């Protein structure tokens, strides 16, 4: 019997026995759906991390000089205490670095603290107040939806002007224009000169709840002691230039802090790689757990299919005897039942793919997780589903193929 | 007289020579056939009779290549089949033998046409050829207008006609019927016998196992088995 005939027969059997087939493909269905669903989350977050977060939010070819690394999974207390003893980054460090770079870079100061921003009787609480220098917008890829960013002149003079994040503008001004209005930050009045485009959220954290003011404006006292920076941001034009600038920054900082060759750096140079390493640590856990879940449901699916196929062989013993008496060889019968088992599993896997994709869209729409379907997971899901069917079908099919036609025909 | 080492004459379709078949039933050996020598010529119509336990089912299984003999030779249409392996036997069943069973053995979910196509699937025929040949076989047994019916939409007699069409579709050397009227009433039985008679007239070789004398009376020759041996072998007037 040609393979095509076997497949046609298998699909026909599935069609005529919808309910039974439905149950038998449930295991594979769940396995494949969960595979695709979970994979989509990991994939989505991965892509988010590498493309959007690392590239856009952190900045391409950008590094940050900080007292300690920004993203730090599972740091022991001792390390944490050592970090807390490190000296802070000072304005003078930033100036020395600016003077010392020999590669073309753009740089910005940054210090942040949560603050309340108010307009008349309206308040926006827990807003990230960032005191930064003018190139901050460029490095962070923040585009203005309205108005303008502050200038170098305004930054140097410490002008009381502010650029709002989208959520802050929405909260305080609803749909009126915030431009040239006066908001209060801490004790000072600030004139709104711009609103940044909506950034959305990452992993459930809103990215639009911020305001940016010039680093030397009155609110600088709210974020850090005088002369202190959270971070010094450096953006180069290419990856190698960024590496070079990092080397230079390290050298300059080490000499400024009088570190001897054997001493470790007492500052951190963070890149988007650091963020990605942090995420990689988390996703590695998922990557270990995920196949376990999928494996379990596929094994269960396989056992269910094997059972169903053993039942089918028992039920259709007479049919097998008949087919043999009409000239079916062992391999014909084997192929028929293998095809049926594989077809059940593949149909289950196909439904699983559809459900998994649906699940992905549901997750993406209803949760903060940026899920996105990976084509590899679809392929893998279908191949694994069909594979489970074939493996689960081998034993029942070989039993069917070995049946003695005389005994099989006599069976009631 | 046939001797071991000979080749049967060309018009001998079935030749069994000292055929025996023993079963091991849990230590006890049951000798169902104890040396059956039988020759059936092309276009003969033979009924095999005998009480239950006489070995007629065993002989039927051997003739139908569903089983292999313990000893002896079996030649079918010039081919020695007594020492073929499983797959070769399947090929012989497919090409040389058309089975008709007491219980019809049709696939319940398949149309009459598809049931008749089955042997052609295992013969490797293409879909178009299968349909055409199956349709022709159904027309031969008078069911040209019932091709798309399922077995449960057909009467017992019609089902057995579908089974006969299935048996004929590969132009087998022999039509092998096992109690073909066992599940049918006497009117329908007569119908089926009429079909057999017509097929015989057209040149088909028929071997029919039955325990009913009036059914056996339709055959031109009656072989009676008793205790695994041929007790009588008689020609009778049609």
Tens of pLDDT, residues B22-62: 988 888 888 999 999 999 999 999 999 999 889 998 999 99
**Alpha carbon of B150: minimum distance to chain A alpha carbons (Å):** 14
Instruction: Assess if residue A337 is contained within a domain.
Output: yes
Q: Do B118 and A323 touch (CB under 8 A)?
A: yes
Q: Classify B238 as helix, strand or coil.
A: coil
Q: Are A17 and A137 found together in one domain?
A: no
pLDDT score for A202: 67
Count of the separate structural domains present in chain B:
1
The DSSP output letter for B152 is G
- Of B61, B93, B124, which is closest to A326 when you measure between CB atoms? B93
- Of A2, A327, A409, which is closest to B90 when you measure between CB atoms? A327
Q: Are A37 and A116 found together in one domain?
A: no
Which of A315, A327, A333 is the best mutation test for B, with the most CBs of B within 10 A?
A327
Tens of pLDDT, residues B121-173: 999 888 899 999 999 999 999 999 999 999 999 999 999 999 999 999 999 99
Helix (H) or strand (E) holding B132, with range, is helix B127-140
pLDDT at A73 exceeding the cut of 70: no
Q: Which residues of B touch A325 (CB under 8 A)?
A: 64, 66, 93, 99
Instruction: Assess if residue A68 is contained within a domain.
Output: no
Q: Do B119 and A16 touch (CB under 8 A)?
A: no
pLDDT at A196 exceeding the cut of 90: yes
pLDDT at A363 exceeding the cut of 90: no
pLDDT at B236 exceeding the cut of 80: yes
pLDDT cut 90: percent of chain A above it: 49
Tens of pLDDT, residues A283-314: 777 777 777 878 888 888 889 889 888 988 99
Q: Are A287 and A377 found together in one domain?
A: yes
Count of the separate structural domains present in chain A:
2
B23 and chain A in contact, CB less than 8 A: no
CA-nearest residue to B127 within chain A is A5
Q: Are A37 and A115 found together in one domain?
A: no
Q: Do B66 and A405 touch (CB under 8 A)?
A: yes
Q: Which residues of A touch B109 (CB under 8 A)?
A: 12, 16
Q: What is the pLDDT confidence band of residue A368, given thresholds at 50, 70 and 90?
A: low
Q: Do B90 and A5 touch (CB under 8 A)?
A: no
Q: Do A326 and B166 touch (CB under 8 A)?
A: yes
pLDDT score for B237: 72
**Domain, as residue range, for A188:** 105-238
Instruction: Assess if residue B60 is contained within a domain.
Output: yes
Instruction: Assess if residue A245 is contained within a domain.
Output: no
Cα–Cα distance, B99 to B108 (Å, whole number): 17
Size of interface A-B (CB pairs under 8 A): 55
Instruction: Assess if residue A272 is contained within a domain.
Output: no
A2 and chain B in contact, CB less than 8 A: yes
- Of B66, B91, B123, which is closest to A406 when you measure between CB atoms? B66
Cα–Cα distance, A100 to A244 (Å, whole number): 12
Q: Do B122 and A325 touch (CB under 8 A)?
A: no
Q: How many CA atoms lie within 13 A of A35 on its CB side?
A: 30
Kindly give the interhelix angle for B86-96 and A317-325, rounded to the nearest 10 degrees: 70
pLDDT score for A371: 75
Which of A326, A328, A332, A406 is the best mutation test for B, with the most CBs of B within 10 A?
A326
Instruction: Assess if residue B182 is contained within a domain.
Output: yes
Q: Do A409 and B101 touch (CB under 8 A)?
A: yes
Instruction: Assess if residue A254 is contained within a domain.
Output: no
B66 and chain A in contact, CB less than 8 A: yes
pLDDT score for A51: 67
Instruction: Assess if residue A249 is contained within a domain.
Output: no
Domain finish residue from A238, A268, A293: A238
pLDDT score for A55: 61
Interface of A with B in 290-329 (CB under 8 A): 318-319, 322-329
Q: Which residues of B touch A324 (CB under 8 A)?
A: 66, 90, 93
pLDDT at B3 exceeding the cut of 90: no
- Of B91, B105, B124, which is closest to A322 when you measure between CB atoms? B105
Q: Which residues of B touch A14 (CB under 8 A)?
A: none
Q: Do A323 and B122 touch (CB under 8 A)?
A: yes
pLDDT score for A168: 93
- Of A12, A325, A331, which is closest to B93 when you measure between CB atoms? A325
Tens of pLDDT, residues B62-120: 999 999 999 999 999 988 998 888 899 999 999 999 999 999 999 988 899 999 999 99
CB A190 within 8 A of CB A182: yes
- Mean pLDDT in residue range A360-388: 83
- Mean pLDDT in residue range B194-198: 93
Q: Classify B37 as helix, strand or coil.
A: strand
Q: Which residues of B touch A340 (CB under 8 A)?
A: none
Q: Which of B141, B131, B125 is nearest to B198 (CA)?
A: B141
pLDDT at B238 exceeding the cut of 60: no
pLDDT at A148 exceeding the cut of 90: yes
B235 and chain A in contact, CB less than 8 A: no
pLDDT at A217 exceeding the cut of 90: yes
Domain finish residue from A238, A259, A286: A238
Buried b (16+ CB within 10 A) or exposed e, B101-111: bbebbbbebbb
Instruction: Assess if residue B11 is contained within a domain.
Output: no
Task: Say which residue, A115 or A72, is predicted with more confidence.
Answer: A115
Q: What is the CATH number of the domain that holds B62?
A: 3.40.50.300
Instruction: Assess if residue A210 is contained within a domain.
Output: yes
Helix (H) or strand (E) holding B234, with range, is strand B229-235
Instruction: Assess if residue A27 is contained within a domain.
Output: yes
**Alpha carbon of A308: minimum distance to chain B alpha carbons (Å):** 19
**Domain, as residue range, for B143:** 43-69+86-235
Interface of B with A in 126-185 (CB under 8 A): 166, 170
Domain finish residue from A179, A210, A238: A238
Interface of A with B in 325-354 (CB under 8 A): 325-332
Q: Are A226 and A327 found together in one domain?
A: no
Tens of pLDDT, residues A321-337: 999 999 999 999 999 89
pLDDT score for A290: 75
- Mean pLDDT in residue range A90-119: 93
CA-nearest residue to A316 within chain B is B107
Which of B111, B122, B128, B179 is the best mutation test for A, with the most CBs of A within 10 A?
B122
Q: Are A296 and A404 found together in one domain?
A: yes
Q: Classify B161 as helix, strand or coil.
A: helix
Q: Are A171 and A283 found together in one domain?
A: no
pLDDT score for A394: 93
- Of B90, B105, B166, which is closest to A328 when you measure between CB atoms? B90
Q: What is the pLDDT confidence band of residue A54, given thresholds at 50, 70 and 90?
A: low
pLDDT score for A230: 93
């Amino acid at each position: 019997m040609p393979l095509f005939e076997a497949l046609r027969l298998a699909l026909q059997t599935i069609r005529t026995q919808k309910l039974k087939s439905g149950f038998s493909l449930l295991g594979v269905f769940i396995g494949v759906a969960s595979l695709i669903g979970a994979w989509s989350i990991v994939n989505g977050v991965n892509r988010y991390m590498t493309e959007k977060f690392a590239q856009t939010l952190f900045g391409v070819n950008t590094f940050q000089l900080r007292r300690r690394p920004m993203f730090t999974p599972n740091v022991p207390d001792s390390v944490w205490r050592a970090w807390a003893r490190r000296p802070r980054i000072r304005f003078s460090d930033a100036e020395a670095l600016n003077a010392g770079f020999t590669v073309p870079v753009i740089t910005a100061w940054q210090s942040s603290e949560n603050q309340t921003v108010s307009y008349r009787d309206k308040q926006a609480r827990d807003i990230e107040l960032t005191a930064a220098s003018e190139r901050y917008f460029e490095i962070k890829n923040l585009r203005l939806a309205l108005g303008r960013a502050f200038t170098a002149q305004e930054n140097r003079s410490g002008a009381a002007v502010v650029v709002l994040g989208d959520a802050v503008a929405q909260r305080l001004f609803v749909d009126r224009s915030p431009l040239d209005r006066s908001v209060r930050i801490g004790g000072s009045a600030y004139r709104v000169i711009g609103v940044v485009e909506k950034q959305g959220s990452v992993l459930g954290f809103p990215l639009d709840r911020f305001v940016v003011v010039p680093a030397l404006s009155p609110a600088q006292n709210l974020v850090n002691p005088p002369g202190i920076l959270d971070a010094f941001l450096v953006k180069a034009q290419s990856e190698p230039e960024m590496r070079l600038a990092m080397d230079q920054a390290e050298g300059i900082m080490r000499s400024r802090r009088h570190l001897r060759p054997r001493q470790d750096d007492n500052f951190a140079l963070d890149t988007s790689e650091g963020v990605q390493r942090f995420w990689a640590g988390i996703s590695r856990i998922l990557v270990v757990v995920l196949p376990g879940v999928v494996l379990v449901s596929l094994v269960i699916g396989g056992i269910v299919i094997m059972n169903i196929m053993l039942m089918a062989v028992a039920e259709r013993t007479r049919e097998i005897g008949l087919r043999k008496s009409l000239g079916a060889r062992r391999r014909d019968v084997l192929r028929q039942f293998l095809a049926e088992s594989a077809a059940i599993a593949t149909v289950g896997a196909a439904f699983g793919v559809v459900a998994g994709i649906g699940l992905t869209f549901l997750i993406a729409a209803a949760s903060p997780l940026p899920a996105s379907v990976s084509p590899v997971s679809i392929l893998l899901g279908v191949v694994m589903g069909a594979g489970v069917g074939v493996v689960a079908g081998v034993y029942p099919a070989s039993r069917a193929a070995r049946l003695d036609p005389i005994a099989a025909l006599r069976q009631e | 007289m046939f001797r071991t080492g000979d080749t049967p004459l060309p018009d001998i379709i079935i030749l069994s020579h000292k055929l025996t078949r023993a079963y091991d039933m849990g230590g006890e050996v049951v000798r169902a056939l104890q040396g059956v020598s039988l020759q059936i010529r092309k276009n003969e119509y033979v009924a095999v009779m005998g009480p239950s336990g006489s070995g007629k089912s065993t002989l039927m299984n051997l003739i139908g290549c569903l089983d292999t003999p313990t000893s002896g030779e079996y030649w079918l249409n010039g081919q020695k089949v007594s020492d073929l392996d499983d797959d070769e036997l399947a090929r012989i069943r497919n090409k040389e033998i058309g089975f008709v069973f007491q219980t019809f053995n049709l696939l319940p979910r398949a149309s009459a046409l598809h049931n008749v196509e089955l042997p052609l699937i295992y013969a490797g025929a293409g879909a178009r050829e299968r349909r055409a040949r199956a349709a022709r076989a159904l027309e031969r047994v008078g069911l040209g207008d019932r091709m798309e019916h399922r077995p449960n939409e057909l009467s017992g007699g019609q089902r057995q006609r579908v089974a006969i069409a299935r048996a004929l579709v590969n132009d087998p050397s022999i039509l092998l019927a096992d109690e073909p009227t066992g599940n049918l009433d006497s009117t329908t039985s007569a119908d089926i016998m009429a079909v057999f008679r017509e097929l015989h007239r057209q040149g088909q070789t028929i071997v029919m196992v039955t325990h009913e004398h009036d059914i056996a009376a339709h055959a031109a020759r009656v072989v009676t088995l008793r205790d695994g041996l041929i007790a009588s072998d008689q020609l009778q007037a049609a």
